[in-house]
Amino acid sequence: MLTHGATAVVALMLGMTATGGGDSGGAGDGKAAPAPTVTVTKAPRGGAPEPAATVTRTVRETVKETVTAKPEPAPKKAAKPGPPAAIEADGMFLVGEDIQAGTYKTAGPEDDNFGLGCYWARQKDASGELTGIIANGNITGMTRVTVDKGEYFETKGCLEWRKVS
């Protein structure tokens, strides 16, 4: 019988040690943790092994919420900048590289062009030779010109050319 009592005392001490000696272990919540419960199981007589001690401890449950974060979508790739769709100065421009192919419109000559009008030319190369001209014109009012990729477009004394289609 003495061994049964000793086993119970040892189990009780182990339970108290496991729970922090009866301290709640909380952060000042003022609630004591439940004391361990000691259960001693007696074995039948006749040379049976020593009874086993069972320590049952009640622990407060902590509920945790698991949230799965969705990854941010990859930033959209910026479209590769292409040639501009407007011509704001005099010059010769390679269509498809310096300007976009398409139809451009201008309001006409610049006001300070001394009455010389607005000159434009579609050219097959940048040689400046008369044989390279596909089409050209001197205009005094609004006009449209369609240029194709690979051609050169020349303009002098004109207001801004803006792509319209």
pLDDT in tens, 59-113: 566 666 666 767 777 777 766 678 989 999 999 999 999 999 999 999 999 876 6
DSSP string, 72-125: PPPPPPPPPP---SEE-SSEEEEBTTTB-SEEEEE--B-TTSTT--EEEEEESS
**pTM greater than the 0.85 cutoff:** no
pLDDT in tens, 103-157: 999 999 987 666 678 999 999 999 989 999 999 999 989 999 999 999 999 999 9
Q: Nearest 5°: phi and psi at 10?
A: -60, -45
